[in-house]
Amino acid sequence: MQSPPTIVSKLLPQSASQDMRSLGRGELTGCPWHDVKAMLRDVGLRPTRQRMALGWILFAKGDRHLTAEMLYEEASNAKVPVSLATIYNTLHQFTDVGLLRQIAVDGSKTYFDTNVSEHHHFFVEGENALVDIPNADVSVDRMPLAPEGYEVARVDVIVRVKRKT
Ligand SMILES: [Zn+2]
């Protein structure tokens, strides 16, 4: 009923976490309430009611990509009384501690990914959906040098696709 592997894998370096994630992921639904509490404690966030409720909505359904508005709607449907401002705050807190990964598709759309391992995305234009691309399926042949005094932190590839007409 408890799944330490899932919680631990969230905190591992991204490259090392892939195998453990896939092992632990399925167990998350076993006792999600307990898992979310442990997950929050592990990253130093107080497990408040709102964080617990939002964490449960976010993480109990496997890997997915959500905007603040999508989470707000799910919270409303689940009768969780929470404001959109709280949703934004919580999403950013979760991102800051590494529970979520933020993906800015364009100026107006920011998604939060519950899968924090290294991977890339298709963005389906017109349907506003993000689809994972496994890390191994993308290779960046030539990278620019980072400006002096900087190093490349991460490369996010977003391939925009649209339905064939
Ligand atoms: Zn993703």
Kindly give, in sequence order, each residue whose CB lies less than 8 Å from that of residue 80, ignoring residues fewer than 6 positions away.
50, 53, 54, 57
Distance 143 CA to ligand 1 centre (A): 22
Chain segment 41-83, per-residue pLDDT in tens: 999 999 999 999 999 999 988 899 999 999 999 999 999 999 9
- DSSP secondary structure letter of residue 127: T
**How many structural domains are present in the chain?**
1
Q: Shortest CA distance to 19 belongs to which of 3, 35, 5?
A: 5
**CA 51 to ligand 1 center in whole angstroms:** 22
pTM here is: 0.74
In a domain, 78, yes or no: no
pLDDT tens-digit map of 78-127: 999 999 999 999 999 999 999 999 998 877 789 999 999 889 999 998 88
Please tell me the predicted confidence (pLDDT) of residue 31.
63
Mean pLDDT of 27-39: 71
* 70 in a structural domain: no
Q: Which among 4, 2, 97, 5 has a CA at the least distance from the CA of 47?
A: 97
59 is a domain residue: no
Domain-located, residue 13: no
Q: Which two tokens stand for residue 147?
A: 């400006």
Please check whether residue 52 lies inside any domain of the structure: no
Residue 133 resides in a domain: yes
Which domain, by its residues, includes 134?
115-161
Residues 86, 50 contacting (CB under 8 angstroms): yes
Centroid of ligand 1 to alpha carbon of 96 (angstroms) = 17
Q: Is residue 10 part of a domain?
A: no
* Separation between Cα atoms, residue 120 and residue 124, nearest integer Å: 13
Gap from CA of 38 to ligand 1 centroid (Å): 23
Residue 69 domain-assigned? no
From the CA of 148, how far away is ligand 1's center (Å)? Answer: 30
